[in-house]
Amino acid sequence: MERPIGVFDSGLGGLTVLAALRRRLAGERFVYFGDTARVPYGSKSAATVQRYCRQDTAFLRRFEPKLIVVACNTATALGLEVVAEEAGTPVVGVIEPGARRAVAASGGKPIGIIATESTIASRSYYRAIRALEPRAEMWERACPLLVPMVEEGRTGEDPLVRAAVEEYLAPIRGRVGSLVLGCTHYPLLKSALAAYMGPEVALVDSAEEVAGEVAGVLERDGLAARDGDGGIQCYVTDNPERFRSVGERFLGQPLREVTLVEPEDFFVQEQAAGR
Amino acid sequence: MERPIGVFDSGLGGLTVLAALRRRLAGERFVYFGDTARVPYGSKSAATVQRYCRQDTAFLRRFEPKLIVVACNTATALGLEVVAEEAGTPVVGVIEPGARRAVAASGGKPIGIIATESTIASRSYYRAIRALEPRAEMWERACPLLVPMVEEGRTGEDPLVRAAVEEYLAPIRGRVGSLVLGCTHYPLLKSALAAYMGPEVALVDSAEEVAGEVAGVLERDGLAARDGDGGIQCYVTDNPERFRSVGERFLGQPLREVTLVEPEDFFVQEQAAGR
Protein backbone atom coordinates (compact mmCIF):
# COMPACT_ATOMS: atom_id res chain seq x y z
CA MET A 1 0.00 0.00 0.00
CA GLU A 2 1.11 3.58 -0.69
CA ARG A 3 2.54 5.37 2.35
CA PRO A 4 0.18 8.16 3.46
CA ILE A 5 0.74 11.87 3.88
CA GLY A 6 0.45 12.85 7.54
CA VAL A 7 -1.32 16.10 8.42
CA PHE A 8 -1.80 17.56 11.88
CA ASP A 9 -3.43 20.52 13.55
CA SER A 10 -4.52 21.56 17.03
CA GLY A 11 -8.08 20.72 16.00
CA LEU A 12 -10.33 21.27 13.02
CA GLY A 13 -8.74 24.17 11.18
CA GLY A 14 -6.23 22.04 9.29
CA LEU A 15 -9.11 20.46 7.41
CA THR A 16 -9.13 23.56 5.15
CA VAL A 17 -5.55 22.62 4.21
CA LEU A 18 -6.51 18.96 3.79
CA ALA A 19 -9.28 20.03 1.41
CA ALA A 20 -6.73 21.82 -0.82
CA LEU A 21 -4.34 18.84 -0.64
CA ARG A 22 -7.13 16.50 -1.72
CA ARG A 23 -8.07 18.68 -4.69
CA ARG A 24 -4.48 18.81 -5.86
CA LEU A 25 -3.40 15.25 -5.01
CA ALA A 26 -6.44 13.09 -5.60
CA GLY A 27 -4.61 9.74 -5.55
CA GLU A 28 -2.87 10.25 -2.20
CA ARG A 29 -3.91 8.69 1.09
CA PHE A 30 -4.06 11.04 4.10
CA VAL A 31 -3.86 10.51 7.87
CA TYR A 32 -5.11 13.57 9.75
CA PHE A 33 -4.47 14.09 13.46
CA GLY A 34 -6.41 16.78 15.40
CA ASP A 35 -5.40 17.40 19.01
CA THR A 36 -8.91 18.34 20.09
CA ALA A 37 -8.30 17.51 23.77
CA ARG A 38 -5.84 20.41 24.02
CA VAL A 39 -7.14 22.81 21.37
CA PRO A 40 -6.49 25.75 20.91
CA TYR A 41 -2.73 26.14 20.53
CA GLY A 42 -3.00 29.84 19.58
CA SER A 43 -3.10 31.20 23.13
CA LYS A 44 -0.41 28.89 24.55
CA SER A 45 3.32 29.37 25.11
CA ALA A 46 6.08 28.34 22.71
CA ALA A 47 7.38 25.66 25.09
CA THR A 48 3.96 24.05 25.41
CA VAL A 49 3.18 24.20 21.68
CA GLN A 50 6.58 22.62 20.96
CA ARG A 51 5.92 19.79 23.40
CA TYR A 52 2.56 19.16 21.74
CA CYS A 53 4.12 19.27 18.24
CA ARG A 54 6.67 16.64 19.25
CA GLN A 55 3.90 14.35 20.47
CA ASP A 56 1.68 14.99 17.45
CA THR A 57 4.55 14.11 15.13
CA ALA A 58 5.37 10.98 17.10
CA PHE A 59 1.76 9.91 16.74
CA LEU A 60 1.78 10.39 12.95
CA ARG A 61 5.04 8.44 12.64
CA ARG A 62 3.14 5.29 13.56
CA PHE A 63 1.61 5.43 10.08
CA GLU A 64 5.00 5.67 8.35
CA PRO A 65 4.04 8.82 6.43
CA LYS A 66 6.12 9.84 3.43
CA LEU A 67 5.68 13.52 4.27
CA ILE A 68 4.20 15.52 7.16
CA VAL A 69 2.18 18.71 6.73
CA VAL A 70 1.92 21.02 9.73
CA ALA A 71 -1.54 22.34 8.88
CA CYS A 72 -1.68 24.88 11.72
CA ASN A 73 -0.18 28.33 11.68
CA THR A 74 0.61 28.40 15.40
CA ALA A 75 2.29 24.98 15.27
CA THR A 76 4.27 26.05 12.21
CA ALA A 77 5.26 29.38 13.78
CA LEU A 78 6.43 27.89 17.06
CA GLY A 79 7.14 24.23 16.32
CA LEU A 80 8.27 23.63 12.73
CA GLU A 81 11.85 22.91 13.77
CA VAL A 82 10.77 20.46 16.43
CA VAL A 83 8.59 18.63 13.89
CA ALA A 84 11.48 18.50 11.41
CA GLU A 85 13.76 16.97 14.09
CA GLU A 86 11.17 14.39 15.03
CA ALA A 87 9.67 13.52 11.66
CA GLY A 88 12.32 11.59 9.74
CA THR A 89 10.50 12.68 6.53
CA PRO A 90 10.12 15.92 4.59
CA VAL A 91 7.99 18.46 6.46
CA VAL A 92 5.89 21.28 4.97
CA GLY A 93 4.46 24.07 7.14
CA VAL A 94 1.93 26.74 6.20
CA ILE A 95 3.91 29.93 6.79
CA GLU A 96 6.59 29.88 4.08
CA PRO A 97 4.09 29.17 1.29
CA GLY A 98 1.73 31.84 2.62
CA ALA A 99 4.53 34.40 2.85
CA ARG A 100 5.56 33.74 -0.77
CA ARG A 101 2.03 34.20 -2.01
CA ALA A 102 1.54 37.37 0.07
CA VAL A 103 4.62 38.99 -1.47
CA ALA A 104 3.61 37.98 -5.00
CA ALA A 105 0.05 39.24 -4.53
CA SER A 106 0.74 42.55 -2.79
CA GLY A 107 1.69 44.45 -5.94
CA GLY A 108 4.51 46.16 -4.03
CA LYS A 109 2.08 47.58 -1.46
CA PRO A 110 2.30 46.84 2.27
CA ILE A 111 1.14 43.43 3.50
CA GLY A 112 -1.41 42.83 6.27
CA ILE A 113 -1.18 39.78 8.54
CA ILE A 114 -3.95 38.48 10.81
CA ALA A 115 -3.48 35.41 13.03
CA THR A 116 -3.78 34.04 16.57
CA GLU A 117 -2.07 35.72 19.52
CA SER A 118 0.82 33.23 19.55
CA THR A 119 1.44 33.33 15.80
CA ILE A 120 1.56 37.13 15.81
CA ALA A 121 3.80 37.18 18.91
CA SER A 122 6.21 34.76 17.20
CA ARG A 123 6.66 37.22 14.27
CA SER A 124 7.08 34.23 11.96
CA TYR A 125 5.20 35.74 9.01
CA TYR A 126 7.03 39.00 9.49
CA ARG A 127 10.40 37.27 9.29
CA ALA A 128 9.42 34.96 6.41
CA ILE A 129 8.18 37.91 4.35
CA ARG A 130 11.23 40.03 5.20
CA ALA A 131 13.50 37.21 4.04
CA LEU A 132 11.75 37.24 0.64
CA GLU A 133 11.33 41.00 0.32
CA PRO A 134 13.56 42.98 2.68
CA ARG A 135 11.76 46.28 2.06
CA ALA A 136 8.24 44.94 2.62
CA GLU A 137 6.12 47.03 4.96
CA MET A 138 3.73 45.06 7.19
CA TRP A 139 0.70 45.52 9.44
CA GLU A 140 0.12 42.73 11.94
CA ARG A 141 -2.93 42.07 14.10
CA ALA A 142 -3.95 39.24 16.47
CA CYS A 143 -7.67 38.40 16.17
CA PRO A 144 -8.45 36.04 19.09
CA LEU A 145 -12.23 35.98 18.61
CA LEU A 146 -12.31 34.76 15.01
CA VAL A 147 -11.45 31.12 15.83
CA PRO A 148 -14.18 30.70 18.48
CA MET A 149 -16.63 32.43 16.13
CA VAL A 150 -15.93 29.88 13.37
CA GLU A 151 -16.05 27.00 15.86
CA GLU A 152 -19.47 28.22 17.01
CA GLY A 153 -20.68 27.85 13.41
CA ARG A 154 -20.74 31.53 12.46
CA THR A 155 -20.04 32.55 8.87
CA GLY A 156 -18.92 35.74 7.16
CA GLU A 157 -22.54 36.91 6.98
CA ASP A 158 -22.96 36.90 10.78
CA PRO A 159 -23.36 40.38 12.33
CA LEU A 160 -20.97 39.64 15.22
CA VAL A 161 -18.33 38.40 12.77
CA ARG A 162 -18.78 41.55 10.69
CA ALA A 163 -18.39 43.72 13.80
CA ALA A 164 -15.26 41.87 14.96
CA VAL A 165 -13.66 42.02 11.51
CA GLU A 166 -14.35 45.74 11.35
CA GLU A 167 -12.80 46.33 14.76
CA TYR A 168 -9.70 44.20 14.14
CA LEU A 169 -9.02 45.42 10.60
CA ALA A 170 -9.82 49.13 10.94
CA PRO A 171 -6.12 50.06 11.32
CA ILE A 172 -5.21 47.98 8.22
CA ARG A 173 -7.96 48.86 5.76
CA GLY A 174 -6.86 51.01 2.87
CA ARG A 175 -3.17 50.47 3.60
CA VAL A 176 -2.35 47.03 2.19
CA GLY A 177 -2.20 45.21 -1.14
CA SER A 178 -2.62 41.72 0.32
CA LEU A 179 -3.89 40.27 3.59
CA VAL A 180 -2.48 37.01 4.95
CA LEU A 181 -5.15 34.82 6.56
CA GLY A 182 -2.63 33.49 9.07
CA CYS A 183 -4.90 30.91 10.68
CA THR A 184 -6.54 27.95 9.00
CA HIS A 185 -9.95 28.92 10.40
CA TYR A 186 -10.04 32.27 8.66
CA PRO A 187 -10.85 31.10 5.10
CA LEU A 188 -14.34 30.26 6.45
CA LEU A 189 -14.82 34.00 7.09
CA LYS A 190 -13.53 35.11 3.68
CA SER A 191 -16.76 36.81 2.68
CA ALA A 192 -16.64 39.16 5.68
CA LEU A 193 -12.94 39.87 5.23
CA ALA A 194 -13.33 40.55 1.50
CA ALA A 195 -16.37 42.77 2.04
CA TYR A 196 -14.55 44.92 4.58
CA MET A 197 -11.14 45.10 2.86
CA GLY A 198 -12.52 45.70 -0.63
CA PRO A 199 -11.97 43.96 -3.99
CA GLU A 200 -8.51 45.44 -4.60
CA VAL A 201 -6.97 43.55 -1.63
CA ALA A 202 -5.78 39.97 -2.29
CA LEU A 203 -6.72 37.58 0.52
CA VAL A 204 -3.94 35.02 0.97
CA ASP A 205 -5.06 31.59 2.14
CA SER A 206 -1.98 29.36 2.49
CA ALA A 207 -3.82 26.15 1.69
CA GLU A 208 -3.46 26.27 -2.12
CA GLU A 209 0.21 27.20 -1.88
CA VAL A 210 0.85 24.39 0.59
CA ALA A 211 -0.75 21.88 -1.75
CA GLY A 212 1.49 23.12 -4.57
CA GLU A 213 4.58 22.80 -2.39
CA VAL A 214 3.65 19.28 -1.25
CA ALA A 215 3.11 18.23 -4.88
CA GLY A 216 6.55 19.64 -5.76
CA VAL A 217 8.33 17.82 -2.93
CA LEU A 218 6.64 14.50 -3.78
CA GLU A 219 7.65 14.83 -7.44
CA ARG A 220 11.20 15.89 -6.56
CA ASP A 221 11.68 12.93 -4.20
CA GLY A 222 9.88 10.41 -6.42
CA LEU A 223 7.24 9.85 -3.75
CA ALA A 224 4.02 10.74 -5.60
CA ALA A 225 1.32 8.05 -5.49
CA ARG A 226 1.24 6.14 -8.76
CA ASP A 227 -2.23 4.70 -8.80
CA GLY A 228 -3.60 5.21 -5.30
CA ASP A 229 -7.27 5.75 -4.77
CA GLY A 230 -7.01 8.30 -2.00
CA GLY A 231 -8.87 8.17 1.28
CA ILE A 232 -8.74 9.98 4.62
CA GLN A 233 -8.37 8.55 8.10
CA CYS A 234 -8.83 11.00 10.98
CA TYR A 235 -7.64 10.63 14.56
CA VAL A 236 -8.60 13.04 17.31
CA THR A 237 -7.82 13.21 21.05
CA ASP A 238 -11.36 14.26 22.04
CA ASN A 239 -14.93 14.36 20.84
CA PRO A 240 -14.96 12.58 17.45
CA GLU A 241 -18.67 13.37 17.02
CA ARG A 242 -18.12 17.13 17.28
CA PHE A 243 -15.11 16.83 14.94
CA ARG A 244 -17.23 14.99 12.41
CA SER A 245 -20.14 17.42 12.46
CA VAL A 246 -18.18 20.70 12.60
CA GLY A 247 -15.38 19.35 10.38
CA GLU A 248 -17.59 18.80 7.36
CA ARG A 249 -17.88 22.58 6.95
CA PHE A 250 -14.08 22.85 6.89
CA LEU A 251 -13.43 19.94 4.55
CA GLY A 252 -16.40 20.57 2.29
CA GLN A 253 -17.34 16.88 2.26
CA PRO A 254 -18.55 14.28 4.77
CA LEU A 255 -16.02 12.87 7.22
CA ARG A 256 -16.43 9.16 7.68
CA GLU A 257 -13.55 7.59 9.59
CA VAL A 258 -12.87 9.56 12.77
CA THR A 259 -11.19 7.60 15.57
CA LEU A 260 -10.66 8.70 19.16
CA VAL A 261 -7.15 8.15 20.51
CA GLU A 262 -6.48 8.49 24.21
CA PRO A 263 -3.67 11.02 24.33
CA GLU A 264 -2.02 9.91 27.53
CA ASP A 265 -1.70 6.37 26.25
CA PHE A 266 0.71 7.31 23.55
CA PHE A 267 2.33 10.24 25.40
CA VAL A 268 3.27 7.88 28.20
CA GLN A 269 4.65 5.35 25.73
CA GLU A 270 6.76 8.06 24.11
CA GLN A 271 8.02 9.17 27.50
CA ALA A 272 8.80 5.61 28.56
CA ALA A 273 10.81 5.21 25.36
CA GLY A 274 12.93 8.14 26.54
CA ARG A 275 12.01 10.52 23.75
CA MET B 1 1.44 24.98 59.46
CA GLU B 2 -2.26 25.06 58.65
CA ARG B 3 -3.30 22.76 55.84
CA PRO B 4 -4.34 24.79 52.78
CA ILE B 5 -7.60 24.86 50.85
CA GLY B 6 -7.03 23.53 47.31
CA VAL B 7 -8.79 25.29 44.43
CA PHE B 8 -8.67 24.32 40.78
CA ASP B 9 -9.95 25.51 37.43
CA SER B 10 -9.19 24.97 33.74
CA GLY B 11 -7.41 28.34 33.76
CA LEU B 12 -8.00 31.79 35.15
CA GLY B 13 -11.75 31.90 35.75
CA GLY B 14 -11.59 30.25 39.16
CA LEU B 15 -9.75 33.29 40.48
CA THR B 16 -13.14 35.02 40.77
CA VAL B 17 -14.09 32.24 43.20
CA LEU B 18 -10.74 32.51 44.99
CA ALA B 19 -11.38 36.25 45.45
CA ALA B 20 -14.68 35.52 47.24
CA LEU B 21 -13.04 32.78 49.35
CA ARG B 22 -10.32 35.22 50.43
CA ARG B 23 -12.83 37.87 51.43
CA ARG B 24 -14.77 35.41 53.54
CA LEU B 25 -11.87 33.34 54.93
CA ALA B 26 -9.02 35.78 55.42
CA GLY B 27 -6.89 33.55 57.64
CA GLU B 28 -6.87 30.53 55.27
CA ARG B 29 -4.00 29.54 53.04
CA PHE B 30 -4.89 28.67 49.41
CA VAL B 31 -3.22 26.58 46.73
CA TYR B 32 -4.68 27.36 43.29
CA PHE B 33 -4.11 25.13 40.26
CA GLY B 34 -4.95 26.40 36.73
CA ASP B 35 -4.64 23.91 33.87
CA THR B 36 -3.67 26.57 31.34
CA ALA B 37 -1.94 24.11 28.99
CA ARG B 38 -5.30 22.48 28.23
CA VAL B 39 -7.74 25.35 28.75
CA PRO B 40 -10.65 25.61 27.92
CA TYR B 41 -12.63 22.68 29.34
CA GLY B 42 -15.98 24.13 28.22
CA SER B 43 -15.88 22.77 24.66
CA LYS B 44 -14.50 19.32 25.54
CA SER B 45 -16.19 15.98 26.15
CA ALA B 46 -17.25 14.58 29.51
CA ALA B 47 -14.66 11.78 29.34
CA THR B 48 -11.82 14.22 28.70
CA VAL B 49 -12.92 16.69 31.36
CA GLN B 50 -13.19 13.83 33.86
CA ARG B 51 -9.66 12.65 33.04
CA TYR B 52 -8.37 16.19 33.55
CA CYS B 53 -10.29 16.55 36.83
CA ARG B 54 -8.72 13.37 38.17
CA GLN B 55 -5.24 14.68 37.35
CA ASP B 56 -5.94 18.15 38.72
CA THR B 57 -7.14 16.64 41.99
CA ALA B 58 -4.11 14.34 42.20
CA PHE B 59 -1.89 17.39 41.78
CA LEU B 60 -3.62 19.29 44.61
CA ARG B 61 -3.37 16.27 46.92
CA ARG B 62 0.38 16.81 47.05
CA PHE B 63 -0.31 19.84 49.26
CA GLU B 64 -2.46 17.83 51.70
CA PRO B 65 -5.42 20.19 51.39
CA LYS B 66 -8.14 20.08 54.03
CA LEU B 67 -10.81 20.79 51.41
CA ILE B 68 -10.93 21.07 47.61
CA VAL B 69 -12.99 23.65 45.73
CA VAL B 70 -13.82 22.89 42.08
CA ALA B 71 -13.85 26.52 40.94
CA CYS B 72 -14.97 25.79 37.39
CA ASN B 73 -18.52 25.23 36.24
CA THR B 74 -17.62 22.76 33.49
CA ALA B 75 -15.43 20.70 35.83
CA THR B 76 -18.18 20.72 38.46
CA ALA B 77 -20.85 19.80 35.91
CA LEU B 78 -18.93 16.90 34.40
CA GLY B 79 -16.34 15.91 37.01
CA LEU B 80 -17.52 16.58 40.57
CA GLU B 81 -17.99 12.87 41.32
CA VAL B 82 -14.55 12.01 39.98
CA VAL B 83 -13.00 14.71 42.18
CA ALA B 84 -14.89 13.42 45.22
CA GLU B 85 -13.58 9.89 44.57
CA GLU B 86 -10.02 11.10 44.19
CA ALA B 87 -9.85 13.83 46.82
CA GLY B 88 -9.93 12.13 50.22
CA THR B 89 -11.23 15.44 51.65
CA PRO B 90 -14.51 17.35 51.51
CA VAL B 91 -15.17 18.78 48.04
CA VAL B 92 -17.24 21.86 47.15
CA GLY B 93 -18.30 22.61 43.57
CA VAL B 94 -19.88 25.76 42.16
CA ILE B 95 -23.18 24.43 40.80
CA GLU B 96 -25.13 23.44 43.94
CA PRO B 97 -24.51 26.77 45.67
CA GLY B 98 -25.36 28.69 42.48
CA ALA B 99 -28.57 26.71 42.01
CA ARG B 100 -29.67 27.43 45.59
CA ARG B 101 -29.08 31.14 45.18
CA ALA B 102 -30.88 31.19 41.81
CA VAL B 103 -34.01 29.65 43.32
CA ALA B 104 -33.95 32.01 46.30
CA ALA B 105 -33.45 35.07 44.09
CA SER B 106 -35.95 34.31 41.33
CA GLY B 107 -39.04 35.40 43.28
CA GLY B 108 -40.95 32.45 41.87
CA LYS B 109 -40.32 33.57 38.29
CA PRO B 110 -38.47 31.43 35.70
CA ILE B 111 -34.69 31.12 35.98
CA GLY B 112 -32.21 31.85 33.18
CA ILE B 113 -28.94 29.92 32.91
CA ILE B 114 -25.95 30.93 30.76
CA ALA B 115 -22.77 28.83 30.63
CA THR B 116 -20.27 27.09 28.32
CA GLU B 117 -21.36 24.55 25.70
CA SER B 118 -20.39 21.57 27.88
CA THR B 119 -22.00 22.87 31.06
CA ILE B 120 -25.29 23.54 29.26
CA ALA B 121 -25.14 20.15 27.51
CA SER B 122 -24.63 18.42 30.87
CA ARG B 123 -27.91 19.97 32.18
CA SER B 124 -26.34 20.11 35.65
CA TYR B 125 -27.88 23.44 36.64
CA TYR B 126 -31.21 22.30 35.29
CA ARG B 127 -31.14 19.19 37.46
CA ALA B 128 -29.78 20.94 40.55
CA ILE B 129 -32.51 23.59 40.35
CA ARG B 130 -35.23 21.02 39.67
CA ALA B 131 -34.14 19.07 42.77
CA LEU B 132 -34.65 22.20 44.88
CA GLU B 133 -37.79 23.47 43.19
CA PRO B 134 -39.55 20.84 41.09
CA ARG B 135 -41.85 23.35 39.39
CA ALA B 136 -39.11 25.80 38.37
CA GLU B 137 -39.26 26.91 34.76
CA MET B 138 -35.85 27.47 33.11
CA TRP B 139 -34.27 29.06 30.03
CA GLU B 140 -30.79 27.77 29.17
CA ARG B 141 -28.28 29.20 26.70
CA ALA B 142 -24.66 28.34 25.83
CA CYS B 143 -22.55 31.49 25.21
CA PRO B 144 -19.25 30.26 23.72
CA LEU B 145 -17.86 33.72 22.85
CA LEU B 146 -18.03 35.26 26.31
CA VAL B 147 -14.99 33.40 27.71
CA PRO B 148 -12.63 34.35 24.84
CA MET B 149 -13.94 37.93 25.06
CA VAL B 150 -12.98 38.15 28.75
CA GLU B 151 -9.64 36.46 28.10
CA GLU B 152 -8.92 39.05 25.42
CA GLY B 153 -9.35 41.76 28.07
CA ARG B 154 -12.77 43.02 27.05
CA THR B 155 -15.16 44.36 29.70
CA GLY B 156 -18.90 44.88 29.93
CA GLU B 157 -18.53 48.27 28.26
CA ASP B 158 -17.05 46.81 25.04
CA PRO B 159 -19.33 47.10 21.98
CA LEU B 160 -18.66 43.53 20.83
CA VAL B 161 -19.49 42.21 24.30
CA ARG B 162 -22.70 44.23 24.31
CA ALA B 163 -23.64 42.85 20.87
CA ALA B 164 -22.91 39.24 21.90
CA VAL B 165 -24.87 39.57 25.16
CA GLU B 166 -27.81 41.00 23.26
CA GLU B 167 -27.75 38.16 20.74
CA TYR B 168 -27.39 35.37 23.33
CA LEU B 169 -29.90 36.77 25.82
CA ALA B 170 -32.63 38.04 23.49
CA PRO B 171 -34.78 34.89 23.99
CA ILE B 172 -34.43 35.18 27.79
CA ARG B 173 -34.94 38.90 28.43
CA GLY B 174 -38.21 39.79 30.09
CA ARG B 175 -38.94 36.19 31.02
CA VAL B 176 -36.83 35.44 34.11
CA GLY B 177 -36.48 36.57 37.71
CA SER B 178 -32.85 35.51 38.08
CA LEU B 179 -29.98 34.72 35.72
CA VAL B 180 -27.30 32.19 36.69
CA LEU B 181 -23.82 33.24 35.53
CA GLY B 182 -22.83 29.62 35.03
CA CYS B 183 -19.17 30.23 34.19
CA THR B 184 -16.57 31.85 36.43
CA HIS B 185 -15.58 34.29 33.67
CA TYR B 186 -18.99 35.89 33.42
CA PRO B 187 -18.88 38.05 36.56
CA LEU B 188 -16.32 40.20 34.70
CA LEU B 189 -19.09 41.08 32.21
CA LYS B 190 -21.71 41.84 34.87
CA SER B 191 -22.22 45.44 33.74
CA ALA B 192 -23.22 44.35 30.21
CA LEU B 193 -25.46 41.55 31.50
CA ALA B 194 -27.15 43.83 34.05
CA ALA B 195 -27.65 46.61 31.51
CA TYR B 196 -29.34 44.27 29.04
CA MET B 197 -31.43 42.23 31.51
CA GLY B 198 -32.58 45.23 33.56
CA PRO B 199 -32.49 46.01 37.29
CA GLU B 200 -35.33 43.67 38.25
CA VAL B 201 -33.34 40.53 37.30
CA ALA B 202 -31.00 39.10 39.98
CA LEU B 203 -27.62 38.05 38.52
CA VAL B 204 -26.40 34.95 40.35
CA ASP B 205 -22.64 34.65 40.69
CA SER B 206 -21.84 31.40 42.54
CA ALA B 207 -18.65 32.71 44.11
CA GLU B 208 -20.20 34.25 47.25
CA GLU B 209 -22.37 31.20 47.85
CA VAL B 210 -19.40 28.89 47.43
CA ALA B 211 -17.43 30.87 50.00
CA GLY B 212 -20.34 30.57 52.43
CA GLU B 213 -20.56 26.82 51.88
CA VAL B 214 -16.81 26.36 52.35
CA ALA B 215 -16.95 28.35 55.60
CA GLY B 216 -19.81 26.14 56.79
CA VAL B 217 -17.99 22.87 56.01
CA LEU B 218 -14.81 24.05 57.74
CA GLU B 219 -16.76 25.01 60.87
CA ARG B 220 -18.75 21.79 60.86
CA ASP B 221 -15.63 19.64 60.57
CA GLY B 222 -13.53 21.75 62.96
CA LEU B 223 -11.07 22.60 60.16
CA ALA B 224 -11.20 26.41 60.13
CA ALA B 225 -7.80 28.11 60.42
CA ARG B 226 -7.26 29.35 63.96
CA ASP B 227 -4.69 32.06 63.50
CA GLY B 228 -3.39 31.64 59.95
CA ASP B 229 -2.20 34.64 58.04
CA GLY B 230 -3.52 33.58 54.64
CA GLY B 231 -1.48 33.55 51.46
CA ILE B 232 -1.94 32.20 47.92
CA GLN B 233 0.32 29.91 45.94
CA CYS B 234 -0.60 29.41 42.28
CA TYR B 235 0.49 26.59 39.97
CA VAL B 236 -0.24 26.57 36.24
CA THR B 237 0.59 24.14 33.43
CA ASP B 238 1.44 26.89 30.92
CA ASN B 239 2.36 30.53 30.62
CA PRO B 240 2.73 31.83 34.19
CA GLU B 241 3.37 35.37 32.90
CA ARG B 242 0.05 35.53 31.05
CA PHE B 243 -1.70 34.04 34.10
CA ARG B 244 -0.16 36.70 36.33
CA SER B 245 -1.04 39.64 34.09
CA VAL B 246 -4.56 38.56 33.07
CA GLY B 247 -5.28 36.96 36.45
CA GLU B 248 -5.00 40.20 38.42
CA ARG B 249 -8.21 41.40 36.82
CA PHE B 250 -9.98 38.26 38.02
CA LEU B 251 -8.58 38.23 41.55
CA GLY B 252 -8.70 41.98 42.04
CA GLN B 253 -5.21 42.06 43.55
CA PRO B 254 -1.65 41.34 42.37
CA LEU B 255 -0.62 37.72 41.93
CA ARG B 256 2.86 37.09 43.23
CA GLU B 257 3.72 33.40 43.43
CA VAL B 258 2.86 31.69 40.15
CA THR B 259 4.82 28.51 39.42
CA LEU B 260 4.91 26.55 36.17
CA VAL B 261 4.43 22.80 36.53
CA GLU B 262 5.16 20.49 33.61
CA PRO B 263 1.93 18.58 33.26
CA GLU B 264 3.32 15.39 31.82
CA ASP B 265 5.77 15.04 34.66
CA PHE B 266 3.09 14.47 37.20
CA PHE B 267 0.59 12.79 34.86
CA VAL B 268 3.18 10.14 34.09
CA GLN B 269 3.95 9.70 37.77
CA GLU B 270 0.27 9.23 38.50
CA GLN B 271 -0.01 6.71 35.69
CA ALA B 272 3.07 4.84 36.85
CA ALA B 273 1.53 4.63 40.31
CA GLY B 274 -1.38 2.80 38.70
CA ARG B 275 -4.01 5.41 39.43
Same fold yes or no, A5-93+208-272 and A95-206: yes
Best of B264, B266, B269 to disrupt the A interface (most A CBs within 10 Å) is B264
Helix (H) or strand (E) holding B33: strand B30-34
Asked if residues B257 and B234 have their Cβ atoms less than 8 Å apart, the reply is yes
- CATH classification code of B95-206: 3.40.50.1860
CATH topology of domain A5-93+208-272: Rossmann fold (3.40.50)
Residue A21's Cβ-side half-sphere holds a number of Cα atoms within 13 Å equal to 34
- Å between A239 CA and nearest CA of chain B: 6
Residue B275 has pLDDT above 50, yes or no: no
Mean pLDDT for all residues in chain B: 94
Nearest 5°: the CA angle A146, A148, A150 is 70
CB atoms within 10 A of CB B3: 17
Per residue in B228-240, pLDDT (tens digit) is: 778 999 999 999 9
Mean pLDDT for all residues in chain A: 94
If one compares B255 and A1, the residue with the highest pLDDT of the two is B255
- What string of DSSP letters covers chain A? -PPPEEEEESSSTTHHHHHHHHHH-TT--EEEEE-TTT---TTS-HHHHHHHHHHHHHHHHTT--SEEEE--HHHHHHHHHHHHHHHSS-EE-SHHHHHHHHHHHSTTS-EEEEE-HHHHHHTHHHHHHHHH-TT--EEEEE-TTHHHHHHTT--TT-HHHHHHHHHHHTTTTTT-SEEEEESTTGGGGHHHHHHHH-TTSEEE-HHHHHHHHHHHHHHHTT-S-SS----EEEEESS-HHHHHHHHHHHHSS----EEE--HHHHHHHHHHTT-
Per residue in B78-110, pLDDT (tens digit) is: 999 999 999 999 999 999 999 999 999 999 999
pLDDT, residue B226, reads: 84
pLDDT, residue A275, reads: 45
Residue B268 has pLDDT above 60, yes or no: no
Q: How far apart are CA B53 and CA A255, in angstroms?
A: 30
Q: Active-site residue among B53, B72, B143, B234?
A: B72
Per residue in A171-198, pLDDT (tens digit) is: 999 999 999 999 999 999 999 999 999 9
Asked if residues B141 and B171 have their Cβ atoms less than 8 Å apart, the reply is yes
Q: How far apart are CA A259 and CA A245, in angstroms?
A: 14
Which residues of chain A have a CB within 8 Å of the CB of B38? Answer: 37-38
Cα torsion angle, A111, A114, A115, A120, sign:
positive
CB atoms within 10 A of CB A77: 29
- What string of DSSP letters covers B152-201? TT--TT-HHHHHHHHHHHTTTTTT-SEEEEESTTGGGGHHHHHHHH-TTS
The pTM for the full model equals 0.94
The reply to whether residue B43 touches residue A164, judged by beta carbons under 8 angstroms, is no
Which residues of chain B have a CB within 8 Å of the CB of A43? Answer: 39, 151, 242
Q: pLDDT > 70: what percent of chain B?
A: 95
Domain layout of chain A by residue ranges: 5-93+208-272, 95-206
Cα torsion angle, A245, A264, B17, A160, sign:
negative
Helix (H) or strand (E) holding B112: strand B111-115
Mean pLDDT of A65-81: 98
Cα torsion angle, A235, A239, A244, A250, sign:
negative
Q: How far apart are CA A151 and CA B147, in angstroms?
A: 14
Per residue in A232-272, pLDDT (tens digit) is: 999 999 999 999 999 999 999 999 889 999 866 666 555 55
Interface of B with A in 127-166 (CB under 8 A): 144-145, 148-149, 151-152, 159-160, 163-164
Q: How far apart are CA B156 and CA A75, in angstroms?
A: 33
